[in-house]
Structure 1
Amino acid sequence: MSAGNESFVTEFFIIGFPGLQPDFYNLVSAVLFIVYCCTVVGNSIVLILFAIHNILHKPMYFIYLNLVVSDLILSTTTLPKIIVRYWFQAGLTYFFSCFLQMYLVHYCATVTSFILLIMALDRYVAICYPLRYPMIIKNSTVHIFNCTAWVLAHPPCISIVIKAYPLPYCASNIVLHLYCDHIAVTTLACIEWIQYSLPFFVFAMVIFLVPLAFIVFSYCSIIVAVLKIATTQGRFKTLSTCSGQLIIIALYYIPRCVIYLLINIGITFNTDVHISITMLYSLVPPMINPLIYCLRTKEIKQILIKQFKRKQVHV
């Protein structure tokens, strides 16, 4: 599983949870398989509903549609490989495949960060400038924002992969992660990793903290605007329009911020705990997001209720 200092790694072995005993491999693979199935089914239902119901062809849903696509790509890029690793003990992945997975993981994470920013912008304009919302947030405007998110996410992600690919991987090829994460892979290179990691750290801070800063600003402005509403019922109704998005944003950012903060103040984690937290903010939200949106969005909820009633009538 490892090579000497004079030979170079041609394959990586994704270990997953280092402390997991073989007796639990089938259980973990079954849980991950359920997570993947729920993710695919839930997000596919949203895609189908969007395709067949014109009532959902609104800016807010176009934004969410891009989040659905990003979630599907991320889950399909990561979960099948780790499921196979535990189900069939097949954790080997080719050198190029590992870096392709690395690119897709960071690309989807970056796109998601930008999409959440667009979500916050949508709610900011809708609540703080309701009369101007139809003029500012149009379908065409949202399409431009969404396309810009997908395009802007590409250069920084491809650059970190291009920089990581030619490094001399001449020691261990065991990746202590659920997938080919940038840090988990590049720490295997025979280099002074701390110096190499600085540009990536700056990239991560810009990609996540800049959108997060605007998101925090937008929701602070939303809270101020809501407090100016005279009636309690009006406040509740206004806040309910962004509650689903707020939950999705919290699921994505809070675990990331907590783990980055604890690491930077010197608190170290057990590898299994670290991987579990990573899974919490990268692989679980794509499964939960469709459920949140279906339960918290009026139009989708009404469509699902109508579909359910029709099936009962036919039965």
Structure 2
Amino acid sequence: MVANYTGMKSFLILGFPGLSPQYYAPVAALFVFIYLVIAAGNIFILAFVAYEKSLQKPTYLVFCHLALNDLTFGTVTLPKIISKYLFGDSIVPFYGCLVQMFFVHYLGSATSFILLVMALDRFIAICIPLRYPVLITNNIITVLCGFAWFIPLPLMVAVVLFVISLSYCKSNLIAQCYCDHISITSQACGEDVRTVELTSLCVAMFCLLLPLTFIFFSYFSIIVVILKMSNATGRRKTLSTCTPQIFITCLFYLPRCFVYVAYKIGFSFSLDVRILLILLYSLFPAAVNPLIYCFKTQDIKQTLIKKMKMTWMGIELNIR
């Protein structure tokens, strides 16, 4: 399949079109800070779980896959927009933009399937606990997460090939902070554009709604099981084991559902507000998830506290 574009050698990232130049430096600094938070938090989770043998359990291996996804997403999207506001470099080569588009949508789709694996882990642990040691092992979780990474891969490659096949005769302006499918295809023309848009929408719905259906079923079943427990302490303890997963899932899905529903009921946003909302639901979970892992997961929190106490005692002994 050969690209059919005329003079479209590059795209121009607009970022926030209504932003005054005097705010470019503070916005760049904010994006740098966000990236450092994403990188530090997710690298810490990956390193901490790898170092602590006691945390190398199925639940935390899923956290690691999600942390790797979040780290990669921040690395793919933020450097270019930082470069725009820091150095005035807004140009992205045509194929470079397509590569970024691929990773943006591929990583988002992979997140959905990783969240599905996370929900499956909690569903079996709470609803059929006696079977958990047999059904959920480190090897099985690794295979399931491997499928979560693989399933969207051929689909997103197909989407990119469809986009490459379009003719581009409009402007080369990307009204977004990174290249995404809507921004790129909006600059295309011809009879095939509508077909490509519908195909991509079907792929997106498959990658988002299929996992969401099972996730909803899993957590609904978990809540039913918890409510049936007669012991209040047991209910709280059981609920606490899946609270991080519920928070993480809500952070990923709820903002997307809000934007979609708002659009469907006719509530319109200005271009800058729409871009800000997309950035928030894209980057906020990647920055916040490591905090949820640390403060809402008992094993990680207790291990961290233990390590901090040992470090503090070691410092006091050295001082003495």
| Structure-1-length-normalised TM-score | 0.95
Contact persistence 2:162–2:196 (CA under 8 A): no
- Per the TM alignment, residue 314 of structure 1 is displaced from its structure 2 partner at its CA by 3.4
Q: One-letter code of the match for 1:123?
A: R
In 2: Cα distance, 1:79 partner to 1:303 partner: 32
Answer yes or no: is 1:204 the counterpart of 2:204.
Answer: yes
- Per the TM alignment, residue 123 of structure 1 is displaced from its structure 2 partner at its CA by 0.5
Distance 1:176 1:208, change over 3 A: same
In 2: Cα distance, 1:293 partner to 1:70 partner: 15
- Per the TM alignment, residue 263 of structure 1 is displaced from its structure 2 partner at its CA by 2.0
Counterpart in the other structure of 1:52: 51
Q: One-letter code of the match for 2:36?
A: C
In 1: Cα distance, 2:207 partner to 2:266 partner: 23
Contact persistence 1:119–1:245 (CA under 8 A): yes
Name whichever of 257-266 and 107-116 sits farther off. Answer: 257-266
Contact persistence 1:8–1:171 (CA under 8 A): no
Counterpart in the other structure of 2:167: 168
In 1: Cα distance, 2:306 partner to 2:296 partner: 16
Task: State the superposition RMSD in angstroms.
Answer: 1.3
Answer yes or no: is 1:310 the counterpart of 2:318.
Answer: no
- Per the TM alignment, residue 310 of structure 1 is displaced from its structure 2 partner at its CA by 2.9
Matches within 5 A, 1:62-141: 62-141=61-140
Unaligned runs of 5+ in 2: 316-320
Q: Please give the secondary structure, in 2, of the residue aligned with 1:97.
A: helix
Q: Please give the secondary structure, in 2, of the residue aligned with 1:212.
A: helix
In 2: Cα distance, 1:292 partner to 1:10 partner: 42
Counterpart in the other structure of 1:3: none
In 2: Cα distance, 1:191 partner to 1:78 partner: 29
In 1: Cα distance, 2:160 partner to 2:6 partner: 22
Contact persistence 1:8–1:168 (CA under 8 A): no
In 1: Cα distance, 2:246 partner to 2:6 partner: 50
Matches within 5 A, 1:1-315: 7-191=6-190, 193-315=193-315
Contact persistence 2:42–2:290 (CA under 8 A): yes
- Per the TM alignment, residue 295 of structure 1 is displaced from its structure 2 partner at its CA by 0.4
Aligned residues between the structures: 310
Q: One-letter code of the match for 1:141?
A: I
In 2: Cα distance, 1:206 partner to 1:34 partner: 34
- Per the TM alignment, residue 7 of structure 1 is displaced from its structure 2 partner at its CA by 4.2
Percentage of pairs with the same residue: 44
- Per the TM alignment, residue 217 of structure 1 is displaced from its structure 2 partner at its CA by 0.7
Contact persistence 2:114–2:148 (CA under 8 A): yes
Contact persistence 1:9–1:171 (CA under 8 A): no
In 2: Cα distance, 1:48 partner to 1:143 partner: 17
Name whichever of 202-211 and 116-125 sits farther off. Answer: 202-211
Q: One-letter code of the match for 1:8?
A: G
Per-residue Cα deviation, 1:142-197 (whole angstroms, up to 9, x for no partner): 11101111111101111111110232222211100010011011101123544431
Q: Please give the secondary structure, in 1, of the residue aligned with 2:12.
A: strand
Unaligned runs of 5+ in 1: 1-5
Q: Please give the secondary structure, in 2, of the residue aligned with 1:81.
A: helix
In 1: Cα distance, 2:147 partner to 2:6 partner: 42
Q: Please give the secondary structure, in 2, of the residue aligned with 1:248.
A: helix
Q: Please give the secondary structure, in 1, of the residue aligned with 2:11.
A: strand
Per-residue Cα deviation, 1:202-246 (whole angstroms, up to 9, x for no partner): 111111111111111111100110011112111111100010110
